C-alpha cells in the first residue's frame, strides 16, 4: 500500500513507494520499437499510479525572474494549476480558466483532445503524464544522460522527444524517488526551466469539492472562442497580408489558402503550432511583424480551430 510521502530537498527516503514494472519498449506508428530508459519508465508509472500529486515549483525563462506555480492533481482527471495570472481548474468534466487581471473565466468540456494538448504545455510537461492513460505512447524517442546534483538531490537527465511537440524536453529524474523534480526545454529560442521545491504523493484521491469552481467576487464568464476555417481565413487575410500571400511568401509562409495555413499548424495541438507560437511570442519574432499584436480573442479563435482539428 502506498502511503503519503513528502519529497523535500533535504528530506529524502527510498523504498517508500513500490511500483510495478511496465514495458520499456513500445511499437511506434511506423512499426519501429521505441525503447524508453528505465528511469523514464519508472517516472511514468509513479505518475500514472499516484492517487494524488501536489507540486510547488518555480518556472522561468533563463535570464529572467522565476514565477511561482502550484499543480495539484487527483484521480480521476481532476487538477488545479495556479499560475501568476490566475488558475486552470478541472473537476473531470469541465475545465475552467480564470484570469485574475480581468476577473473573467471560461468553461469548456474536459476532453481527451483538450488534455492531450494541456499536458504538453511548458507549465506542466514534467508531470502531465498523471492525466494520461498510456503516456509512454506519446514518446518518439528518449535517452538517459548525465547524472548531476540539483538542490542536494541526485538526478539523472533524460532527454525525450514527444509526438506533436515542437522541441525535446530534458527531465531531471530523482534517482531515489523515481519521479522528475523538473525539466528544461527550448521554445522559440528561449530556454525554460522548472524545478520543484516540494512534491507530495497522497495515499487517496482528494475530495471532489476541492476541484469545484466557485467564481471569485466580481468574476464574469466569457464564452470560449469557436471558429471555422472561413473565419480563420478572413482573419489571415485581414492581419497577415500582403507579407504572407501566395506571391510574397515571407519566410516561406503562405497564409492565403487552406493548405498554406495547414502547413503552419499541428491539428489538435495549438501549443505545438508555429502559427500560434508566432502570434503569442514577444519581441522581434512576434507576428504580425509590423502591426499591432493580435487581440486575445483572435488568438483564441485560432487555437480553438486548431484544437478542433484544423478542418476546412
The band of 295, judged by pLDDT with boundaries at 50, 70 and 90, is confident
Residue 205: what pLDDT? 92
Q: Which range has highest mean pLDDT (67-71, 122-126, 135-139, 269-273)?
A: 67-71
Give the least confident one: 3-17, 220-234, 271-285, 292-306.
3-17
The band of 3, judged by pLDDT with boundaries at 50, 70 and 90, is very low
Q: Which residues pair with 150 in a beta bridge?
A: 153
Q: Is the pLDDT of residue 17 over 70?
A: no
Cα atoms found within 13 Å of the Cα of residue 204, Cβ hemisphere only? 3
| Residue 145, phi then psi, degrees to nearest 5 | -120, -140
DSSP state at residue 112 = H
* Mean pLDDT score of the chain: 84
The band of 122, judged by pLDDT with boundaries at 50, 70 and 90, is confident
What are the start-end ranges of the E strands in the chain? 5-7, 25-27, 33-35, 52-61, 67-74, 78-83, 86-90, 94-99, 104-109, 139-150, 153-162, 169-174, 180-187, 190-202, 220-221
Residue 33: what pLDDT? 67
Residue 103: what pLDDT? 95
DSSP state at residue 163 = T
Predicted confidence (pLDDT) per residue in 61-119, tens digit? 888 899 999 999 999 999 999 999 999 999 999 999 999 999 999 998 898 878 888 88
Those residues whose C-beta lies under 8 Å from the C-beta of residue 191, and which sit 6 or more positions away, are 61, 62, 184, 185
Predicted confidence (pLDDT) per residue in 152-189, tens digit? 889 999 999 988 676 889 999 998 889 999 999 987 77
Q: Which residues pair with 67 in a beta bridge?
A: 59
Cα atoms found within 13 Å of the Cα of residue 228, Cβ hemisphere only? 2
Cell of 95: 475545465
| Residue 45, phi then psi, degrees to nearest 5 | -75, -35
Task: Tell me the C-alpha distance between 145 and 143, whole Å.
Answer: 6
Q: Which domains does the chain have, with CATH numbers?
A: 5-204 (2.50.20.10), 229-307 (no CATH)
Residue 15: what pLDDT? 27
pTM above 0.75, yes or no: no
Those residues whose C-beta lies under 8 Å from the C-beta of residue 247, and which sit 6 or more positions away, are none
Residue 258: what pLDDT? 94
The band of 225, judged by pLDDT with boundaries at 50, 70 and 90, is low
179 contacts 14 by C-beta, under 8 angstroms:
no
Q: Is the pLDDT of residue 31 over 70?
A: no
Give the least confident one: 189-193, 202-206, 271-275.
189-193
Residue 28: what pLDDT? 45
Sign for the pseudo-dihedral over CA of 135, 118, 188, 61:
negative
Q: Which range has highest mean pLDDT (4-8, 137-141, 193-197, 301-305)?
A: 193-197
Task: Tell me the C-alpha distance between 135 and 116, whole Å.
Answer: 10
Residue 215: count of CB within 10 angstroms of its CB: 12
17 contacts 134 by C-beta, under 8 angstroms:
no
Residue 257: what pLDDT? 94
Average of per-residue pLDDT across 262-284: 89
Amino acid at each position: 500500500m502506498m502511503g503519503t510521502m513528502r519529497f523535500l530537498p533535504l528530506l529524502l527516503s527510498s523504498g517508500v513507494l513500490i511500483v510495478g514494472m511496465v514495458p520499456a519498449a513500445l511499437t511506434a506508428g511506423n512499426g519501429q520499437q521505441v525503447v524508453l530508459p528505465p528511469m523514464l519508465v519508472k517516472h511514468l508509472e509513479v505518475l500514472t499510479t499516484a492517487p494524488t500529486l501536489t507540486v510547488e515549483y518555480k518556472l522561468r525563462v533563463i535570464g529572467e525572474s522565476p514565477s511561482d506555480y502550484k499543480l495539484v492533481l487527483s484521480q480521476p482527471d481532476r487538477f488545479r494549476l495556479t499560475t501568476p495570472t490566475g488558475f486552470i481548474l478541472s473537476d473531470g468534466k469541465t475545465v475552467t480558466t480564470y484570469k485574475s487581471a480581468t476577473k473573467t473565466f471560461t468553461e469548456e468540456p474536459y476532453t481527451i483532445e483538450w488534455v492531450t494538448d494541456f499536458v504538453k504545455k511548458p507549465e506542466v510537461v514534467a508531470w502531465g503524464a498523471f492525466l494520461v492513460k498510456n503516456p509512454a505512447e506519446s514518446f518518439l524517442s528518449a535517452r538517459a544522460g548525465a547524472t548531476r546534483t540539483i538542490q542536494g538531490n541526485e538526478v539523472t537527465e533524460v532527454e525525450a522527444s514527444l509526438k506533436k511537440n515542437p522541441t525535446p524536453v530534458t527531465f531531471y529524474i530523482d534517482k531515489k524517488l523515481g519521479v522528475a523534480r523538473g525539466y528544461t526545454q527550448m521554445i522559440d529560442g528561449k530556454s525554460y526551466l522548472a524545478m520543484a521545491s516540494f512534491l507530495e504523493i497522497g495515499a487517496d484521491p482528494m475530495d471532489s469539492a476541492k476541484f469545484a469552481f466557485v467564481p471569485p467576487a466580481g468574476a464574469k464568464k466569457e464564452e470560449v472562442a469557436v471558429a471555422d476555417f472561413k473565419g480563420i481565413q478572413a482573419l489571415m487575410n485581414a492581419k497577415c497580408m500582403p507579407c504572407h500571400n501566395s506571391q510574397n511568401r515571407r519566410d516561406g509562409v503562405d497564409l492565403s489558402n487552406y493548405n498554406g495555413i495547414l502547413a503552419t499548424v499541428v491539428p489538435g495541438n495549438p501549443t505545438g503550432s508555429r502559427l500560434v507560437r508566432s502570434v503569442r511570442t514577444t519581441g522581434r519574432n512576434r507576428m504580425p511583424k509590423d502591426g499591432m499584436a493580435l487581440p486575445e480573442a483572435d488568438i483564441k479563435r485560432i487555437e480553438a480551430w486548431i484544437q478542433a482539428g484544423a478542418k476546412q
